[in-house]
Amino acid sequence: MKYDKNFIEKIERQYGLPCYVFDEDAFRENYCDLRNTLKRYYSKYEIAYSYKTNYAPAICKIVKEMGGYAEVVSDMEYAIAKKIGYESSMIVYNGPFKGELLEEHLLNGGIVNIDNMKEIRRIIAFSEKVEKCFNVGIRVNINVGQSFVSRFGIDADSDDLKYAVELINNSKYLKLIGLHCHIGQARNLVAWKSRTEQILQLADKYIEGTPKYLDLGSGMFGKMDEVMASQFTSAIPSYEDYAEVTAKIVYDHYRNLPEEERPILFTEPGTTVDNKYVDLIAQIACLKKIKGKSFGVINASIHNLGDVCTSVSLPIEVVHYSDCSNRDFDAHDFVGYTCLEQDVAYSNYNKGIADSDYLIFGNVGGYSNVDKPPFILPQCAMIGVSNGESYLIKRRETVEDILLTYIV
Ligand SMILES: *Cc1c(COP(=O)(O)O)cnc(C)c1O
């Protein structure tokens, strides 16, 4: 989005600063681009939006309106999906720590991907108690060349997966209908191709007949500004590139089946669809120089921006507060309002800055507002913009909000 001083001052008056700005129109366009690109290769492709990356109800509702599923990993996220009107059949319940709403979800015909052996026994026991049949999926743990041992799912490289499938097949009420996998920090095409090929092999081996769905999880790069893309060691794949190592391979595998018998293919984008479409407008609170080093203290913190700002330099745009001519061109670290030394939101900005300038940090849609602790200051507001009109997504928090759960 493009920002000017008038627009920012209007936001400041209405909602206060800092403030998140969600670009609804661009979000919709990117969402459709991802979905349509994969659907061109495999018509039964569906998006299950990862709530943990940003569960702002306004955003989740847009996903719902565009036909997306909800991907949740806790009772809290499940409750949010329900609250905005999702049927259980459109909710994918994943994660290593499912709460007590899992049983309700099963009774309502929801999609569940089992993470571990204990969960299988829990679901079997429940099915026997209520004497009802449930369709379930398993999250498989495979290696796609990542440099760490993932702790999620059931190990496909030991006897565990075979044993898990036997438990399900031998149970009276459970049927295995899908497989899931998700590996973080493996966003390249080689890893995605491996993921797709392995899940197809495992489905052929372990699922009787054709699966109802295959879920490849998330971890695709989304679109990003060049200043950000250039900080990664390899080129950022396009959706077309990802489609060729996912949807195309799945299509080739099931091409001889009539369309209605082919499995649904899910991916679970969070950051891919939300990162680029939220900015944070912050402001310089004061400039200082200490032992030759220049700092700009800002009215936000790394907790507002999310962890990503500590590993890459976010795209940043400066809107001048005044037309004062003596801007400071030293390399500034933009540091947060907290009292933490590590609260560095941006290092070495040297394009000229003056007191009270506005800083707009881009690419903060995922793991930002949902990951902000009530540390030192309450959370700021979030607004959406569509067709040039702004609307409130989340009001700024107050001290009363923070104290609500404490006994005062
Ligand atoms: C975190 C997570 C996602 C979303 O991943 P991002 O690529 O970071 O958006 C999707 N599915 C599961 C199971 C996850 O744990």
Tens of pLDDT, residue by residue over 111-136, are 999 999 999 999 999 999 999 999 99
Domain for residue 362, yes or no? yes
Domain for residue 310, yes or no? yes
Identify whether residues 262 and 280 lie together within a single domain. no
Position 146 scores a pLDDT of 85
Domain for residue 298, yes or no? yes
Identify whether residues 10 and 112 lie together within a single domain. no
Give percent of the chain above pLDDT 90: 96
Atom 7, ligand 1: which residue's CA is nearest? 219
**How far does residue 38's CA lie from ligand 1's centre (Å)?**
18
Atom 8, ligand 1: which residue's CA is nearest? 271
Among residues 269, 293, 312, the one where a domain terminates is 269
Domain for residue 37, yes or no? no
State mean pLDDT over 54-69: 98
Identify whether residues 119 and 180 lie together within a single domain. yes
Position 265 scores a pLDDT of 98
pLDDT at 324 over 80: no
Alpha-carbon distances, residue 95 vs 55, 140, 188, 199, 306 (angstroms)? 16, 12, 23, 18, 21
**Binding-site residues, ligand 1, Cβ < 6 A:** 50, 52-53, 71, 73, 94, 182, 217-219, 268-272, 366
Phi-psi region of 80 (alpha: psi -120 to 50; beta: other; left: phi over 0): alpha
Written as one letter, the residue type at 264 is I
**How far does residue 31's CA lie from ligand 1's centre (Å)?**
16
Structural domain of residue 391, as residue ranges?
A: 5-21+276-403
Among residues 269, 303, 332, the one where a domain terminates is 269
Identify whether residues 131 and 250 lie together within a single domain. yes
| pLDDT per position as a tens digit, 3-55 | 999 999 999 999 999 999 999 999 999 999 999 999 999 999 999 999 999 99
pLDDT at 225 over 90: yes
Identify whether residues 117 and 238 lie together within a single domain. yes
Among residues 254, 269, 284, the one where a domain terminates is 269
Identify whether residues 101 and 223 lie together within a single domain. yes
Identify whether residues 305 and 330 lie together within a single domain. yes
Other residues' Cβ atoms within 10 Å of the Cβ of residue 92: 27
Identify whether residues 358 and 209 lie together within a single domain. no
Domain for residue 35, yes or no? no
Other residues' Cβ atoms within 10 Å of the Cβ of residue 36: 12
In 99-173, at which residue ranges do the beta strands (DSSP E only) sit? 111-114, 134-141, 154-155
Domain for residue 154, yes or no? yes
**How far does residue 240's CA lie from ligand 1's centre (Å)?**
20
CATH number of the domain enclosing 368: 2.40.37.10
Give percent of the chain above pLDDT 70: 100
Identify whether residues 286 and 331 lie together within a single domain. yes
Identify whether residues 232 and 365 lie together within a single domain. no
Identify whether residues 222 and 364 lie together within a single domain. no
